[in-house]
Each structure stands twice: as structure tokens, then as C-alpha cells.
Amino acid sequence: MKKYLISLLFILSSISPSIAQAPEMADAMRSNGKIYVVVAVLTIVLAGVLFYLISLDSKISKLEKELKD
């Protein structure tokens, strides 16, 4: 009986490191000190500002068209 217990412990202890290891996830955004998060945020900010600029551009275009008529 004791032999079985020891062998069971042995098996468990050999498994446990693989249990402690984190399951594989999509960690690209969390690697390198989360710099990719900053890149994502700045890209969103730039996209938002550019979108605003484009809408301003189109508004002025419409105004110019109205003034021409």
C-alpha cells in the first residue's frame, strides 16, 4: 500500500510542474511590457483625429459647393 502511495505522489509531483505552467493564450498584446497596448491606443487616437479631420474636410467641401450655387 505504502509503495502505491509513494508512486502516486511521484506521478503527481511529476505532473504538477505542467499544471503550474499557464495554459497557452494569445499573449501577443501582453508581451514586451504591454507596448502593443500603447500602440493600439495611439493608433485609435490617430484614427479618431484623422476621421474628425476628414469629416471637417467634407463639411468645408459642402459649404464651398453651397457658396458656388
Query: Using CB under 8 A as the criterion, which residues of the chain lie in contact with another protein when the complex forms?
Result: 35-36, 38-39, 42-43, 46, 50, 53-54, 56-58, 60-61, 63-64, 67
Q: Which ranges of the chain would DSSP assign to H, the alpha helix?
A: 2-20, 35-68
Nearer Cβ to another protein (15/50): 50
**Radius of gyration in angstroms for the set of CA atoms belonging to the chain, rounded to a whole number:** 30
φ, ψ of residue 43 in degrees (nearest 5):
-65, -40
CB nearer another protein, residue 7 or residue 58: 58
* Comparison of 6 and 49: residue with beta carbon closer to another protein: 49
